[in-house]
Amino acid sequence: MIGNEHISQEDLMLHTLQALSEEESAAVRTHLAQCALCRDQVAELLGDGALVGLSVSQHPVPGGARQRFLDKIAADVLITKQATKQGARGQVLPFPRKTWIPWAMAAALAVVALSLGVENNALNKELRHVTIQATNLAAESARARHVIDVLTSHSAQRVLLTTGKKAAEPTGRVIYLENSGSLVFQANNLKLLASDKTYELWVIPVSGKPIPAGLFRPDAAGDASVVMPALPKGVPAKAFGVTVEKAAGSDSPTAPIIISGATAPSVGE
Amino acid sequence: MSINSPNPMIGSERSGKNDPDPSDDVLLERVRGKNQQAMADVFDRYGGLVYSVALRVLKDPGHAEDVMQEIFFQLWSQPDAFVRGRGSLCGWLMVVARNRAIDTFRRRKPTDSPDDVVLLSNTNLASETERNVLMGKVRDVLKNLPSEQQKSLELAYFEGMTHSEIAEQTGDPLGTVKTRIRQALIGLRKALAA
């Protein structure tokens, strides 16, 4: 402490590095909440800490990480749009403008005046309804984001359940909704790739060329996922496949196909 | 803290008028408008830096990517967590990446909200050339620090050890550990000011 008031610069420095014990950090935080001078020192020390961060050897982001991030924010935009669309259903549309002759206007005004109280009650009800709807949508949105986090996190444990003790084979599972072009893919037991290679997922449409559906690299356990890649809507798929491509990906699949699966035929086919 | 700080991470703001690439401020404004391309540009600009810091701390590419993804998604969903005028985006990302990686390493909930990370003044390190020059300088300075200062700083910054743990590992008194880390940071600040 300086003059029995301020925290010493050494302790502030350790605080910025999270190198104090929990009790010590709590005491520093309490002081910082009241002391602008010490907060300024912390800001300066954080700047020094940021410099230390720049000293590390630079590594390129893992192959497919950029695409995974773009998929994630695209999914977020989609969720937000859907929430907004559903929320908009509760909005009150304005009445179309109409022309009234003077006596009719006077009569209408009288009716409106009488009905204002009733309408006010109705609007209050509507407002409560929309508020509840918005709250529900926010909860749904948070849950959807949570699901995406679970699906895409490298920290998540992925276990393939089988009937017996078989050697682990590469497997993948696609969930695809053609109307909205939504896709979730999970793979297990994939071999690790050299840094200049990546796996690429393909949608094989009923007609036309294969459509790229995301780049990905498995983690150390061979697990990987692709969630909500950018895909066109309304494309019926007959199969899905995974190939190995150069790190930047490819516009068309390169043989061999590592894993693939056909969609189930429709009833009556 | 003035804009004449010897720390280039908190020095004067670049005008950006003649830069072929948009400044961080311009990109962030677009990110606030939910522009996915702008967010991709921020990721391209700083993804490697954030990933490298997380990887240095965690030593695991999968976990390092998780930290990186989490930080950039947080910037996407809450861009106001970084407030213009409270420091450079690059510096902010460095601090948040390091702290989040240490939290992951210690398997604990984030101790600090990104909102709590305040670096004084502005620096625009949007230019790769500027970043590379600064990185080279910082590495040179740290390499030339006395070895015991280097060691103490490394254990605190990258290994996430408390000063007590460092003292226990090195066998040095607590006060000595504190002094060494402080001297290392002061040495870095002075060298960059020279």
Q: What is the pLDDT of residue A19?
A: 83
How far from chain centre, in Å, is Cα A45?
A: 33
Which residues lie closer than 8 Å to A121 by C-beta, 6 or more apart?
Answer: none
Q: Kindly report the nearest CA distance between residue B110 and chain A, in angstroms.
A: 11
Kindly state whether A46 is in contact with chain B, defined as any CB-CB distance less than 8 angstroms.
Answer: yes
Sheet holding A224-227, edge to edge: A171-177, A182-188, A224-227
Identify all chain B residues contacting A56, using CB atoms and an 8 Å cutoff: 52-53, 55-56, 158
**Per-residue pLDDT tens for A209-226?**
999 999 998 888 888 888
**Per-residue pLDDT tens for A87-120?**
665 554 444 445 556 667 666 666 666 667 666 7
Contact criterion met (CB < 8 Å) for A50 and B94: yes
Identify all chain A residues contacting B156, using CB atoms and an 8 Å cutoff: 14, 17, 19
How far from chain centre, in Å, is Cα A122?
A: 37
- Restricting to A residues 129-168, those with a Cβ less than 8 Å away from any Cβ of B are 152-155
Q: What is the pLDDT of residue A157?
A: 67
Which residues lie closer than 8 Å to A115 by C-beta, 6 or more apart?
Answer: none
Q: How many H helices and E strands in chain A? A: 5, 7
- Look up tokens 């994939």; give the residue: A190
- The listed range with the strongest mean pLDDT (A79-83, A198-202, B14-18, B111-115) is A198-202
Q: What is the pLDDT of residue B18?
A: 45
Higher pLDDT, A146 or A60: A60
Higher pLDDT, A175 or A21: A175
Whole-angstrom distance, CA of residue B71 vs CA of residue B58: 15
Mutant choice from A7, A10, A17 vs B, greatest count of B C-beta within 10 A = A17
Query: Can you tell me the mean pLDDT for A32-57?
Result: 87
Q: What parts of chain B have a pLDDT lower than 50?
A: 1-5, 11-18, 121-122
Query: Can you tell me the mean pLDDT for A167-187?
Result: 87
Q: What is the mean pLDDT of chain A?
A: 80
Residue B160's φ and ψ, nearest 5 degrees, are 65, 30
Higher pLDDT, A146 or A227: A227
Q: Kindly report the nearest CA distance between residue B17 and chain A, in angstroms.
A: 25
pLDDT over 90 at A153, yes or no: no
Cα dihedral sign for B153, B154, B160, B163?
A: negative
**Residue A69 burial class via C-beta count within 10 angstroms: exposed 0-12, middle 13-18, buried 19 and up:** buried
pTM flag (> 0.90) = no
Identify all chain A residues contacting B118, using CB atoms and an 8 Å cutoff: 39, 42-43, 46
Q: How many CB atoms lie within 10 A of CB A200?
A: 27
